[in-house]
Amino acid sequence: MKNVKKVLAIALASVMAFATVACGNEGTPAVGTESGKTAAAGTWRIGGIGPTTGGAAVYGQAVQNGAQIAVDEINAAGGINGVMIEYTFEDDENIAEKGVNAYNSLKDWGMQMLLGTVTTTPCIAVSAEAAADNMFLLTPSGSSTDILEGKTNAFQVCFTDPNQGQGSAQYIGENNMASKVAVIYDSSNAYSQGIYEKFAQEAKNYSFEIVSAEAFTADSNTDFSVQLQKAKDAGAELLFLPIYCEQSALILTQANAMGYKPTIFSCDGMDGILTLDNFDVALAEGVILLTPFVADATDDATVSFVTKYQAAYGEIPNQFAADAYDGVYIIKAAIEAANATPDMSVSDLCDALKEAMVNITVDGLTGTGMTWEATGEVSKDPKAMVIKDGVYVGY
């Protein structure tokens, strides 16, 4: 009995070991010789990483789909410099450790450029790994400055967090929207915290005053009555919500139940609130948000993207999908500017793209005339939008 158990254990272990080695055999040539040759014959291998399972899955899926649309478009039009793109997306469950595993897995696949990762925390871990490998990294939506700090290979499509905080403070101050402002932010989220910190710093330069600033964390993000009550008691006329739309929806619902009706001001994380399940869109009436992308815009590029996205995935794309779509085109522009070829090594390719990034100007869905600093920060203008009759209109 015991012996059989042992035999089975050994058998199991050897199967596992075999599987590992087999994978190794499968994967290794793909990195080494073989893929080098196939790549030379003609593919760009772009990898993507983001959460497609778990709590943040909505963002990962949006990026995966948005980038896929761009890749299909480019391939249909003949690729980049006549070379087709292959695109693979890996799940990281919004966990830093899994993000690094996903990154390594993509490297085995033969990734040459990384369009990712989607969420900030895994992105910090992955960008450190990518910097060590000198792999070109363009994150569609990882907005923390920690991603870029001390790395030359990392670039962003979205605004940095401080950038949005500054923009918001400036907007509220210059338009004299309120004199007393309350903030509710997510202290466990680098995005939210980053915006809030810069906002609080900048607020000192304007005529309004922050009368209450209350935090919540990922573990306590369902009941906001305490934070709302404090804001109400302090007499805040404007509520600044630098958070994601799921929590914003709850806050709007709970504020409405309390009979508290301040002006709501938010950033790009609010995008998506109109398509959220079980949310009464009427409550979002009059919400003002700074966002680079609105699905209801009428320019040709946006209309074409939204139509394709809806046809393929049955949803209205959010800003994350648009960022990813732009990301693929930015990579295309950089490759074309650098005159790069797919047979270059990952590191050489990265060096070439780095140089090209600071020289290119890209018009995309999330901004016209986007340019990049050598640090990796993008410069583009946020647009202020207000929700009227259930759609976004320019403010």
Binding site for other proteins (CB under 8 A): 1, 3-5, 8-9, 12-13, 16, 19-20, 23-28, 31-32, 52-53, 90-91, 93, 95-97, 100-105, 107-108, 121, 124-125, 127-129, 132, 146, 149-150, 187-190, 193, 197, 200-201, 213, 215, 217-219
- Least distance (Å) between residue 332 CB and other proteins: 25
Residue number with CB closer to other proteins (133 or 296):
133
**d(Cα 130, Cα 38) in Å, to the nearest integer?**
23
**d(Cα 314, Cα 47) in Å, to the nearest integer?**
24
Residue number with CB closer to other proteins (80 or 100):
100
- Least distance (Å) between residue 274 CB and other proteins: 28
- Least distance (Å) between residue 210 CB and other proteins: 11
Contact status, residue 121 vs residue 190, Cβ threshold 8 Å: yes
Structure tokens belonging to residue 57 = 């899955």
- Least distance (Å) between residue 382 CB and other proteins: 23
Residue number with CB closer to other proteins (240 or 329):
240
Name which of 334, 343, 346 is nearest 376 in CA terms.
334
- Least distance (Å) between residue 175 CB and other proteins: 25
Residue number with CB closer to other proteins (192 or 291):
192
Residue number with CB closer to other proteins (64 or 318):
64
Residue number with CB closer to other proteins (12 or 391):
12
Looking at residue 236, its amino acid is A
What angle in degrees, to the nearest 10, is found between the helix axes of 57-76 and 300-313? Answer: 110
**d(Cα 159, Cα 169) in Å, to the nearest integer?**
15
Phi, psi of 335 (to 5 degrees): -65, -45
Sign of the Cα torsion 69, 74, 77, 78 reads negative
Q: How many CA atoms lie within 13 A of 45 on its CB side?
A: 22
- Least distance (Å) between residue 107 CB and other proteins: 4
